[in-house]
């Protein structure tokens, strides 16, 4: 009897450990698969051409060209725009929730922010087509509103829930004694907020913003539907742009397996994967340093 009990204990310890290996295997599998397939693309087209050429025209009959410069700029433009919008709004809202607003309002607004996080990206994209697009077209007198700015606005709202909830935790972690000391010296609420609370949580807010950006840069359906998808080099926020994610989503379904085009799309995904890994890793480092200081 006892022996059987110990056997089960041993059995479950080992089999549970196996399940943990699945995550490690998946991450390594993703990396290996992307690298192996990208390698075949780089062999055929060369790294230099891939990154520097701004013509993405893989379907051209005589001379297909695989340059992702314009796609990188498209991704960069929408993400930077989203960050510029979401960072002040998100941090401002976090300060409002934890320092200014009454607690009943907080109890209403926090679930609303969580609800925002739950809206599927394809619905945000739809809102970009039926709501934000027509609004931009009218406001700036454009033929249509499907451009980088539209994507930025939507991505900002997709990054906001992350930024708000992480920032709020950071702001709440500032010791009460700091604020009391500031009030005791005669500072008012705003002075305390900007000169005591804010400096105390700079790095945490940075981590929050980076986590939000990490989410925005990998977003696919929203930008696919809202940014217009022109492959030309964009000239500003009112240009129609195509991001790396949208390119993979549009073309992967139609390209035959094993062609240069097919492998190049894997190379696009590899670039995206490495960018998000880098952003998340940096956010992680910033947050870890913060925790260490907290102890």
Partner 1 sequence: MTRRTLWMWVGIASLVACAAGVVTFLIIMLFDLGRKGIPVLSWEFLSSFPREGMTEGGILPAIFGTTVLTLLATLLAAPLGVACAIWLEEYAGEGWLTQLTRAAVRNLAGVPSIVYGLFGLALFVEGMRMGASLLASACTLALLTLPSVIATTEEALRQVPRALREGALALGATRWETTYSVVLPAAIPGILTGVILALSRAAGETAPILFTGVAFYTRYLPASPFDEFMALPYHLYILSTQHHDPERVRPLAYGTAIALLLLVFLLNLAAFLLRARYRQKKRL
| Binding positions for partner 1, 67-106, rule CB under 8 A | 88-93, 95-97, 99-101
The rounded distance, in Å, linking the Cα atoms of 12 and 264 is: 43
Does 130 sit near partner 1 (CB under 8 A)? Answer: yes
Letters for 103-122 (x = contact with partner 1 by CB under 8 A, - = none) are ------x-xxxxxx-xxxxx
Considering the complex, state which of residue 107 and residue 235 has its C-beta at the smaller distance from partner 1. Answer: 107
Q: How far is CA 10 from CA 13, 16, 17, 79, in A?
A: 5, 10, 11, 49
Residue whose tokens read 């701004």: 54
Which residues, 141 to 200, sit near partner 1 by CB under 8 A?
Answer: 157, 160, 164, 188-191, 193-194
Which residues, 21 to 50, sit near partner 1 by CB under 8 A?
Answer: 21-24, 26-30, 33-34, 37
Does 58 sit near partner 1 (CB under 8 A)? Answer: no
Considering the complex, state which of residue 55 and residue 224 has its C-beta at the smaller distance from partner 1. Answer: 224
Contacts of 114 (CB under 8 A, 6+ apart): 161, 165
Number of Cβ atoms within 10 Å of the Cβ of 236: 10
Binding residue for partner 1, selected from 60, 62, 143, 257, defined by CB under 8 A: 257
Coil, helix or strand for 90?
A: helix
Which residues, 195 to 224, sit near partner 1 by CB under 8 A?
Answer: 214-215, 217-221, 224
From 14-22, 44-52, 55-63, 65-73, give the range in contact with partner 1 by CB under 8 A: 14-22
Q: Helices 148-172 and 69-95 meet at what angle, rounded to 10?
A: 40
Binding residue for partner 1, selected from 144, 281, 285, 288, defined by CB under 8 A: 281
Output the smallest distance, CB 56 to partner 1, in A. Answer: 16
Helices (H), the chain: 2-45, 47-52, 69-95, 103-118, 121-127, 133-139, 148-172, 176-184, 189-192, 198-200, 202-217, 221-226, 244-251, 260-294
Does 288 sit near partner 1 (CB under 8 A)? Answer: no
């Amino acid at each position: 009897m006892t022996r059987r009990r110990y056997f089960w204990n041993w059995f479950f310890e080992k089999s549970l450990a196996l399940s943990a290996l699945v995550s490690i295997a998946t991450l390594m599998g993703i990396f290996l698969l992307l690298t192996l397939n990208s390698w075949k693309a780089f062999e055929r087209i060369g790294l230099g051409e891939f990154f520097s050429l701004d013509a993405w025209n893989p379907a051209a009959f005589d001379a297909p060209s695989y340059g992702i410069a314009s796609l990188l700029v498209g991704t960069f433009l929408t993400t930077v725009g989203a960050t510029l919008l979401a960072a002040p709004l998100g941090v401002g809202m976090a300060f409002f929730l934890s320092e200014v607003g009454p607690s009943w309002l907080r109890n209403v607004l926090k679930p609303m922010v969580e609800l925002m996080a739950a809206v599927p990206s394809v619905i945000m994209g739809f809102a970009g087509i039926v709501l934000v697009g027509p609004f931009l077209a009218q406001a700036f007198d454009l033929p249509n509103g499907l451009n980088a700015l539209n994507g930025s606005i939507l991505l900002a709202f997709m990054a906001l829930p992350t930024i708000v909830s992480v920032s709020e935790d950071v702001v709440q972690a500032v010791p009460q004694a700091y604020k009391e000391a500031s009030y005791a010296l005669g500072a008012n609420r705003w002075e305390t907020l900007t000169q005591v609370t804010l400096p105390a949580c700079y790095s945490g807010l940075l981590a929050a913003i980076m986590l939000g950006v990490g989410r925005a840069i990998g977003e696919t359906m929203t930008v696919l539907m809202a940014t217009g998808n022109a492959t030309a080099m964009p000239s500003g926020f009112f240009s129609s742009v195509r991001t790396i994610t949208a390119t993979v989503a549009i073309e992967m379904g139609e390209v035959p397996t094993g062609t240069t085009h097919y492998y190049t799309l894997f190379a696009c995904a590899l670039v995206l994967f490495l960018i998000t890994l880098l952003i998340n890793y940096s956010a992680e480092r910033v947050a870890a340093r913060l925790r260490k200081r907290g102890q």
